[in-house]
Structure 1
Amino acid sequence: MDDEGAGLPRAEEESGWSVAATAATALALYRPRTLKNGPSFVVLDHFGDAQAIGSTAEGLFHDDTRFVSRLSLRVAGMRPLLLSSAVSADNTVLTVNMTNPDLAVAPDRKLPRDTIHVERQMVLGAGLLRERISVRNFGDAHLSTEISLSIATDFADIFEVRGQKRTRRGERRAPEVRPNGDLVFAYRGLDEVERRTRLRFDPTPQGSPARDNRWPVELEPGGYVVIEVTTLCESGPEAAEVPAPPAFDALLAGIRNWGDVRERQRAGVISSNQAFNDWFARSASDLAMLTTETEAGPFPYAGIPWFSCPFGRDSLITAIQCLWADPELARGVLRYHAKLQATELDPARDAEPGKILHESRSGEMAALREVPFGRYYGSVDSTPLFVVLAAQYAERTGDLALIREIWPHIVAALGWIERHGDIDGDGLLEYDRQSLNGLVNQGWKDSWDSVFHADGKLADAPIALIEVQAYGEAAWRGAGRLAKALGHEDESALWTDRADALRARVEEAFWVEELSTYALALDGEKRPCRVRSSNAGHALLTGLPSPDRARRIAQTLMTPESFCGWGIRTIAEGESRYNPMSYHNGSVWPHDNGLIALGMKRYGLNAQLERLLTGIYDSALAVDMYRLPELFCGFPRRHGEGPTAYPVACLPQAWAAATVYASLGAMLGVSFRPEEGVIRFVRPFLPSWLEELRIENLRLGAATVDVRLRRHDTDGGVSLNVLRRRGQVEVAVIT
């Protein structure tokens, strides 16, 4: 649908659904402390506070609603001095250590700083935040002081926090103290749903509970006191009696037990390089935190704070990057999307039969359709990626039982690709939104200005993106292999022929000889957008181009115009809309680079691959906590400086965290032959910064192996030893 039909100019559309880059939303620069559990997440400053000194995107969120907007701890009315602040390595506990500033406790007496130790510990469950505040007197005299905790709620929808304006809101009730001592804040939304923040304190505080909860503290030398605060996020009718939630230690133990289960399901990695180990451990912990256990199995939410919800392409790409190490994640993702696959036409949601989810939201604005994302299907790539992942999962595991379970959904997805995805019947996959409020661009680069011609003119719909054609070709070809495995010979031949036809069509319509790469897209009149982009690199992932063209694409991606030293830019420097500070037109996205790395490996382009992986690795070392952000700016790398942060990037982000798995899968060339019981390492190499690598619990069916790979400095080769084998599995190195 064109702009006139939508009734909105492009710039207004961008400001409508993008995250407003303001001081309140720019979290990337100070690296907030985050925890997530299921549909809940919390964003706090280094003190463990939320919005204590100004308006920010901090607070406790549940089901896309902010249930606590302000949290501010004070000692004797003053903010403590910060000693340390860190989330545990497994992302389960936030621990903040603080002490008192110099305090006047009497006209003639001062309490020196560093006398009181205040420790805050927080653990987050689904709809439940537990906080333990411990106060200890390290002085040599009796101490009288006061701890206070200010708490406020605004019940803002996540899209309001992102910058969306609303003309009307629901009704907030006055805070109430219930007979059992619970402090309850309530808000009845315009969607007729009541949302409540319930607080329980032990011991009971003094003061005005709605604004200022105070605990007088009397401590002898060496004495201590513990204050516990429980916050519950509730929706719907209020129960007559709210059961007691798990205690702090029990809640923490349950979360860690679930993490242990997930850890046993995936491969672990340790190397001779401690910095690499730290990057891998942080990424694995971030993925575990972002993963939500659903009825379908484990499912990775996209990222904190803006996209902590189910996303189609994000989850599918995350699963693809992690597949060699964690097939259980792919299983959960496939079953989840099969369950939510569209079954009918609904233009308001850009839904069509067979289409796979783009995004699912559960807040008030989504329920009222003030935003279209309640259950929204406006992405052109989720559906072919669903089929691609299914085929890759079967080749990774040999689990045809799951393929049979979701087979009707695979067939429905192929039906969407053929009927609705090919708008003009030319064999290519195009998009053109149906919803007036939907996304204008529906590939992974979904900014309003991300698809354009060499002169900067925006492309008109329907638009055919190069990477989507690659996904489509891989979907048809992968479905052909699946059909053959299930005995559907006619469908197998038909779908393989369609893959061949699509490949030929792409090579003819997209290749730009003078640029040595594919065009970014074709516009509605089939004119190529002759722009150098990272999108073309995704064609390497699926194996669409010939070896010669693949080599030329890789060379183009690794020129200084595209490769900034940290990674490959989304758009090459020199293109008309290039801007290294843009969301999609010159920035660097780790997942984008991870997919390109896997593609380079597919074609044996180890020289380019090692340069790319070194840039990604150096990026991880240069950012806080080794946590790769959703994206960073694409400025050229300078000696002694790290990558430039993008102000409203999600931290952590699932597909950015999964990049370490893609990087390892690319350098090692891990593949599987389940029908033969063989794990293969195809032309493996280790870069100069990895002398030795050990993979533990690498699974194939019921069998597992631990292997060690060592780099040979003399010839650059890699040796492999099997350290432990459990079950019937063989390991082969293909050189």
Structure 2
Amino acid sequence: MAADTLKATSETAPEARIPHGFQDADEVLPQYHIEAQTSLVERPLRSLKYGEAFAVLDSYGDIGVLPGPEGLYFQDTRYLSRMHVTIEDQRPLLLSSVMQDDNGALSVDMTTPDIRIDAHDETTIPRELIAIERTKFLFRGACYDRIGLRNYDSRHWHLKVAVTFDADFRDLFEVRGMDRPVRGKRSVQVSSESEVQFRYVGLDEVVRTTSLHFGPTPKHIEPGRAEFVVSLPPGGRASLFLRVVFESHRAFISAPAAERVGEDAAAGLSHAAGSTASARHPKGLAEGVIFARAYRDSRRDLRQLTAGITTIISSNDQFNEAACRATADLYMLASRTPEGIYPFAGIPWYSTVFGRDGIITAMMALWIDPNFGKGVLRYLASTQAKAVDPAADAQPGKVLHETRRGEMAMLGEVPFRHYYGTIDGTPLFVMLAWEYYSVTGDRDTIAAIWPALELALEWMNRYGDRDGDGFVEYARDTDKGLENQGWKDSHDSIFHADGNLAKGPIALCEVQGYVYAAKNGAAKLAALLGHDDLAHRLGQEARALRERFDEAFWCEEIGTYALALDGEKRQCAVRSSNAGHALFTGIALPERAARVAANLLSKDGFNGWGVRTIARGEARYNPMSYHNGSIWPHDNALIALGLARYDLKPEAARIFQGMFDTALYQDQKRLPELFCGFMRRHQRGPVSYPVACSPQAWAAAAPFAFLAACLGLEIDHDRNRVRFRNPILPSFLDGVSIFNLKLGTSRVDLRLQRYGEDVTVNVLRRTGDAQISLLK
């Protein structure tokens, strides 16, 4: 993701340290930061998503009542910045606000407050007489909204219901805090007695429109406001419908614009509205009918997307809730591309394609649904860089970091239209290819993307290894590019023991592990496809890298692998979670594994909820920072998988326990993108990070990685075998049932049960000839 940190504040919590002696002027305003005057923790927000559109709503289903990121967004632009529903000019009383279990819609229950209708005769409606039920969802180019009212009074009431609205067409980076001296032209008009249209002609020659359709016809309508008078006899019901349609098209096609359209088509994302066709309906069709049809079709669409996936039911109802929410989040974030489904990274800041995020999400979810892996591989192969482009930090064979669709990206005000500034995405891409094949045996997909895999391998040796020392390192090509290009990409996340920032080119600890695993996996794929010489060479390169890595990165002084090597090959002797990724990839020597694990799970590394990104006591440690002391679920999941690889299952279970406990304190039992690294305290939950994404794709996939790690789950297509290697279950799980686990044409249902420290495996159902084994 883009390097996002909060603006510095003068107040620190007791554990936070303010380092001295190494602050530079360029650290005052971090690059591409997320500006925060309010915290997302202050009020629970609700998220909806479909395709390239998403909505961030408050608990009422409203938008923009308070400052924040709320809005309806499409292709990195806010198409609706305000929507506020009132009854007799007062906000209803909130009763409940829940996302449906599958995230398909938001359901809100409200009632009227005490309302004085006429100040002269003091006519009032006592509270709790009118029930209000609101349902909102996104589907194919529109946001659908139904407001249902029911009168539980014995009197007949006539109520004024008003909707205020606005569309600012701000680029997402503007919403995040960036200033723009010049913008395009916005206009608004009442298009009919039941429609208002906002129009924005951007500097990128794109016309963006937001059309609000009301039903029944409002009593009064004007730009920014619609009013209804609702008649409710005793026991009576009424419904109001609002449909917000968002679209974009080019005002005219100039030569540069035509080139951009071609590039975007190659990226597999529709440039214009694309998926909005179903939001247009025949004239005269009642809005209630439109709402009902769209709701029905959206349910069918979601069922089709999730058909046939592997599901989990455990002995712990709370874990079941967390697993169901994680599954729902994964498929809400999934977007269809011509190459297959791709998990967009997270809402609100990263609802787009990210290479690294998509790959890691797909890895962790492979045993639940390998379609994520297939879609990610095919998409990233189709968007792989073909030429050297310093502005995009691109070289031939490099895998996409992120793509953005907003006005600022199209104009080059930010470099992220098609941006390749990631050092780890390319080896992770090759890693995923092998893991996907080992689970699915899908040789056709591997053969189809093989040219991309060969280019990626060539990139690692030619462009990735800038100085020919055998390590893959990074340095940005322009001052607009990201300063740090690993997953910890904040401007201050790579530093020396004294706190001074590392100067590049920088070789990250975990990246060498990714390269090692990539070459090992690619060697097996090369042999599969008959490229024996290449397979032999890749195997040799992997073995040599492992030896060089241990010599260069092991730091006896701190008892673990160094965070990175700087441009002078000096170790960044900092205790970090990055060392856990060396376990995940297998590059760590077996004799080092126990010490790495002990370091990660020490009181400085593990705070009781999870492993910190940077250990307590390091120079730049700050439990409130984005990358220097916070805790990320996906990071912990990869560490747990690494611990399991070296058969350190109790340690993996300890992390799983902490993350499950964390989920219990979260709204909807949803693991966030990250949270603060303060030490766990008795009868207190974890401390939230103020602008964390929720949901976040790789956080949603993390529970499945934790479970797979503890169970020692291995799916081997070529051996036709599902194996559980020395499985354990954490104390909060007595048993786990896995349904519809796939291996080739076989399908199996399994039950794993804990008896003391032992775990048994029973086959409940099996179709096909897949072998199930338990190895202790």
Which TM-score bucket, shorter chain as reference?
A: over 0.9
Where in structure 2 are there 5+ consecutive unaligned residues? 1-23, 252-272, 283-288
Q: Give the percent of matched residue pairs that are identical in Structure 1 and Structure 2.
A: 48
SS at match of 2:582: helix
Match of 2:535 among 476, 492, 505: 492
| Segment of structure 1 superposing worse, 486-495 or 665-674 | 665-674
State whether residues 194 and 218 of structure 2, in contact with CA within 8 Å, keep that contact through their aligned partners in structure 1: no
Contact 2:209–2:246 at 8 Å: present in 1 too? yes
Q: Tell me whether 118-127 or 695-704 shows the greater mean CA deviation.
A: 118-127
Residue of structure 2 equivalent to 1:728: 769
Question: Corresponding residue for 1:699?
Answer: 742
Matched, 1:631 2:674: yes
Match of 1:287 among 330, 340, 348: 330
- For residues 82 and 735 of structure 2, what CA distance do their matches in structure 1 show? 48
Q: CA deviation at 1:62?
A: 0.6
| Cα pair 2:345 2:697 within 8 Å, conserved | yes
Which deviates further from its counterpart, 204-213 or 438-447? 204-213
Q: CA separation in 1, counterparts of 2:36 and 2:122?
A: 49
For 2:45, the equivalent position in structure 1 comes to 32
Where does residue 3 of structure 1 map in the other structure? Answer: none
Give runs of aligned pairs for residues 586-597 of structure 1, distance below 5 A: 586-597=629-640
User: Which stretch shifts more, 199-208 or 644-653?
Assistant: 199-208
Match of 1:43 in 2: 56
Amino acid at match of 1:56: G
SS in 1 for 2:148: strand
CA contact (8 A) 2:205 2:250 kept: no
Quote the Cα distance in structure 2 between the aligned partners of 1:594 and 1:603: 15
Partner in structure 1 of residue 222 of structure 2: 209
Can you list the C-alpha shifts for 1:412-444, whole angstroms capped at 9, x where unaligned?
Answer: 000110100000011100000002201000000
Counterpart residue number, 1:560: 603
Q: Please, which of 303, 306, 319 is the counterpart of residue 260 of structure 1?
A: 303
Structure 1 contact 92–252 (Cα < 8 Å) conserved: no
* 1:70 correspondence with 2:82: yes
TM-score w.r.t. the length of structure 1 is: 0.96
- Contact 2:194/2:215 (8 A) holds in 1: no
Q: What is the rounded CA distance, in whole Å, between the counterparts of 2:29 and 2:479 in structure 1?
A: 10
Check if 1:116 corresponds to 2:125. Answer: no
Q: 1:230 corresponds to which residue?
A: 243
1:313 and 1:646 mapped to 2: Cα distance? 22
Counterpart contact for 2:193–2:218, Cα < 8 Å: no
Aligned length: 720
3-state SS of paired residue (1:227) = strand
2:758 matched residue in structure 1:
717
CA distance in 2, matches of 1:397, 1:28: 40
Give, in whole Å, the separation in 1 of the partners of 2:532 and 2:713. 29
Question: Following the alignment from structure 2 to structure 1, what is the Cα–Cα distance between the partners of residues 368 and 25?
Answer: 45
Q: Deviations over 1:570-609 (max 9, x none)?
A: 0000000000000000000000000000000000002211
What is the aligned partner in structure 2 of residue 4 from structure 1?
none
- Cα distance, 1:507 vs. partner? 0.5
The answer to whether structure 1 residue 244 and structure 2 residue 281 are counterparts is yes
1:18 aligns with 2:33: yes
Residues 9 and 389 from structure 1, CA distance in 2 versus in 1: closer, same or farther, beyond 3 angstroms?
Answer: farther
Shift of 1:514: 2.2
Pick from 336, 361, 366: which aligns with 2:409?
366
Structure 1 residue matching 2:235: 3-state secondary structure: coil
Partner of 1:5: none
Per-residue deviation, 1:237? 5.3
Give the letter for the 1:79 counterpart. R
Of 94, 97, 105, the match for 1:82: 94
Is the CA contact 1:48–1:96 (under 8 Å) kept in the aligned structure 2?
A: yes
Hey, what does 2:265 align to over in structure 1? none
Q: Tell me, which stretches of 5 or more residues in structure 1 are unaligned?
A: 1-7
Moved more, 552-561 or 133-142: 133-142
Write out aligned runs for 1:185-196 (5 A).
185-196=198-209
Q: Is the 8 A contact 2:652 2:706 kept in 1?
A: no
Matches of 2:26 and 2:361 in 1, distance apart?
A: 30
Alpha-carbon distance, 1:717 to partner: 0.7
How far apart are residue 118 of structure 1 and its match?
A: 1.3
Structure 1 SS opposite 2:571: coil
* Contact 1:195 1:234 survives alignment (8 Å): yes
Structure-2 residue corresponding to 1:460: 503
**How big is the shift at 1:219?**
1.4
Q: Contact 1:520–1:530 (CA<8 Å) still a contact in 2?
A: yes
Structure 2 CA distance for aligned equivalents of residues 386 and 29 of structure 1: 38
Q: Tell me how far apart the structure 2 counterparts of residues 46 and 674 of structure 1 sit (CA, whole Å).
A: 46
In the alignment, the residues of structure 2 paired with residue 122 and residue 579 of structure 1 have an alpha-carbon distance, to the nearest angstrom, of 39
CA distance, structure 1, for counterparts of residue 247 and residue 222 of structure 2: 19
Shift of 1:180: 7.4
For residue 352 of structure 2, what is the aligned residue in structure 1? 309
Q: Please name the residue that 1:380 is paired with.
A: 423
Tell me, what secondary structure is at the counterpart of 2:211?
strand
Deviation at 1:12, TM superposition (A): 5.5
Structure 1 residue 13: deviation in Å? 5.9
* Contact persistence 2:82–2:164 (CA under 8 A): yes
- 1:13/1:448 contact within 8 Å kept: no
Q: Match of 2:117, as an amino acid? A: V
By how many angstroms is 1:675 displaced? Answer: 2.0
Q: In terms of mean alpha carbon deviation, does 407-416 or 675-684 score higher?
A: 675-684
Deviation at 1:293, TM superposition (A): 1.3
**Equivalent position SS for 2:491:** coil
CA contact (8 A) 1:146 1:216 kept: yes
Aligned residue in 1 for 2:189: 176
Deviations along 1:233-287, one digit per CA (max 9) or x if unpaired, are 0101599x98318922332333322332333342100011001101100100011
Q: Distance in 2 between matches of 1:608 and 1:198?
A: 54
CA RMSD of superposed structures (Å): 1.5
* 1:397 correspondence with 2:446: no
Q: Distance in 2 between matches of 1:237 and 1:514?
A: 60
Name the residue aligned to 1:534. Answer: 577
Q: What is the rounded CA distance, in whole Å, between the counterparts of 2:102 and 2:127 in structure 1?
A: 32
Query: Deviation per CA, 1:467-518, whole angstroms, max 9, x where unpaired?
Result: 0000011111111111111111100000111111111111110000121100
